[in-house]
Amino acid sequence: MSFADIYSLPKDPKLIGFTGYGGAGKDEAAGPLIAHGYTRRCFGDLIKIQCNDLIKKHLGFSAFTEDRKQKHVIRPILETWGETNYDNISDEFYRDLPEYCVNTRISRVPEIVKWRERGGIIVAVDRPGLVPQTTWEEQIVSMQLAHEVVSLIIVNDSTVEKLHELILGLFFFEDQKHGWKEISGDRPWIVRSSGGLQSLRQLDRTPRTL
């Protein structure tokens, strides 16, 4: 039996943006979406493409490195260039956005406004015990929470398999059931990968930080 025989793409949301600190599991959360119909687009990838030659020349490795120590070294460079060239990056990003799209690094207010204008939602991924890697990262997440643009917080407190199972339950239809249909209102919801959809609940107020 194929995936399409069990699940089907949702009518909403078609644009899903993930936020959270580095290492929280944003790319892992996006994995099932990408595998089954969503296209990954990310401001960060455009920034890395623009900075890649410079980083290779002076640091000796790619801007797309998966090495955590190397990522830590270049993070301030990428953040600074993203701020400096923001308007051009934004124009390129939104020029040809796929119908079903997942953004694993949504960050600044103008980006969020355009995303939400197109029907997009923002999901924060929180890994217990994880702290922000830079001041910029901490400020971005705090700003998003303060502006109350985060619709859901996923606490990534179990295995990758449990996280993937939760994502499928939240965003895809299965036997006409769709976890995202429950989420509404002006306060964010929270769900734990260890508890699955049964742990989904609305918060009394928006937290100031993850």
Between 108 and 29, residue with greater pLDDT: 29
- The residue-averaged pLDDT of 49-63 equals 96
Whether the pLDDT of residue 2 is over 50: the answer is no
The pLDDT of residue 10: 76
The pLDDT of residue 195: 96
Between 154 and 172, residue with greater pLDDT: 154
The DSSP symbol for 11 reads S
- The residue-averaged pLDDT of 169-190 equals 79
Q: Where are the alpha helices (DSSP H) in the chain?
A: 3-6, 26-35, 43-59, 68-84, 86-95, 109-117, 135-146, 160-171
Number of structural domains the chain divides into: 2
166, part of any domain: yes
Q: Are residues 146 and 197 in the same domain?
A: yes
Between 10 and 64, residue with greater pLDDT: 64
- The residue-averaged pLDDT of 182-207 equals 92
Phi, psi of 110 (to 5 degrees): -60, -40
CA-only gyration radius of the chain, Å: 17
Q: Are residues 124 and 72 in the same domain?
A: no
pLDDT digits (tens, 9 = 90+) for 155-176: 999 999 999 999 998 988 665 5
Q: Are residues 81 and 111 in the same domain?
A: no
75, part of any domain: yes
Q: What CATH number does residue 17 fall under?
A: 3.40.50.300
Whether the pLDDT of residue 5 is over 60: the answer is no
For the entire predicted model, the pTM comes to 0.84
- The residue-averaged pLDDT of 139-163 equals 95
The pLDDT of residue 183: 86
1, part of any domain: no
Residues 6+ apart with CB under 8 A from 139: none
Q: Are residues 49 and 134 in the same domain?
A: no
* Pick from 80, 83, 78, 103: nearest CA to 93: 103
Between 107 and 173, residue with greater pLDDT: 107
- The residue-averaged pLDDT of 180-197 equals 90
- Which residue range(s) make up the domain with 76? 43-96
